[in-house]
Amino acid sequence: MSYQITSAILGISLALIILLLIRRDRLHSRHAIWWLFVAVFVMILGIFPRIIDYIALKLGVNYPPTLLFSLGMAMILLKVLSIDLHQSQLERKTRRLAQRLALLEGDKQQHDD
């Protein structure tokens, strides 16, 4: 079995899993766009792994897999950073909601008394 078949199978199954998750509405649309992009990317690279060699050659990278790894790592870092940004935003919203709830519950209690 050639390595191309292996990588194609891996790429296509990962893409299918992502598409399935999007179809089942398990990913919020803003995340789904990113993952759709990843799915397409992984599928193309899985079926035509030679693309990496070609790009690496053009960019003057001697050992093509390093290009793949550093690009992959960079994308993961960016994604994690964006998760933390989003997480901080959520934290701010959660805190304000809890405060507002405390105020409203206080009003209600006073109203009931």
Q: Which two tokens stand for residue 67?
A: 């290009």
Least distance between another protein and beta carbon 112 (Å): 13
DSSP 60: T
Least distance between another protein and beta carbon 105 (Å): 7
Burial zone of 47 (CB within 10 Å; 0-12 exposed, 13-18 middle, 19+ buried): middle
Phi first, then psi, for residue 87 (nearest 5°) are -60, -40
**Residue closer to another protein (CB basis): 4 or 88:** 88
Residues that bind another protein (CB under 8 A): 88, 91-92, 94-96, 98-103, 105-106, 110
**Residue closer to another protein (CB basis): 73 or 105:** 105
Least distance between another protein and beta carbon 99 (Å): 4
How far apart (Å, rounded) are the C-alpha atoms in residues 51 and 112?
70
**Residue closer to another protein (CB basis): 66 or 105:** 105
Phi first, then psi, for residue 63 (nearest 5°) are -115, 100
**Residue closer to another protein (CB basis): 65 or 106:** 106
